Amino acid sequence: MMQPISGTPARPPGEGQTAPSVAGEQPLSTQQRTVLERLITRLISLTQQQSAEVWAGMKHDLGVKSDTPLLSRHFPAAEQNLTQRLSVAQQNHANRQVLSQLTELLSQGEQSPGRQ
């Protein structure tokens, strides 16, 4: 009788090794992917970046090759990376709005009568 190789679970005949046995090696779950996609959607609404550019930048920051799919073990770092990027983008957006308002007020002040 044959014994399975040490460390690998026995599989019924016909079942390949398509599904990794380690939880962290699983692909992103639908819920995880949705969380990341929502963060990316919010991020691109505040920046000039495209979705693919954000995905690529995040993978680069995580040290994941561009042609390698994200796995569930990457999710916590990916979520943190996107949350940090979103926070920076929100602050930059707020700063641009204040700068725009100040510029508008300055131009109104220069046009007001009585200024010398």
Give residue 44's Cα distance to chain centre. 10
69 domain residue, yes or no: yes
Domain membership of residue 6 (yes or no) is: no
For the chain, the helix, strand and coil percentages under 3-state DSSP, each to the nearest 5: 60, 0, 35
Among the listed residues 80, 100, 96, 93, the one whose alpha carbon sits nearest the alpha carbon of residue 39: 80
What is the C-alpha to C-alpha distance for residues 12 and 9, in angstroms, rounded to an integer? 10
Encode the chain (116 residues) as per-residue pLDDT tens digits: 555 454 445 555 555 455 555 777 999 999 999 999 999 999 999 999 999 999 999 999 999 999 999 999 999 999 999 999 999 999 999 999 999 999 999 998 877 766 55
Q: Give the three-class secondary structure for 102.
A: helix
**Does any domain span residue 39?**
yes
36 belongs to a structural domain:
yes
The H or E element containing residue 105 is helix 75-111
Domain count, the chain: 1
The total of other beta-carbon atoms located within 10 Å of residue 68's CB is 9
20 belongs to a structural domain: no
Tell me how far apart the alpha carbons of residues 91 and 83 are, in angstroms, rounded to a whole number: 12
Q: Is the pTM of this model over 0.75?
A: no
Domain for residue 78, yes or no?
A: yes
The answer to whether residue 45 is domain-embedded is yes
Domain span including residue 70: 26-106
Does residue 8 lie in a domain region?
no
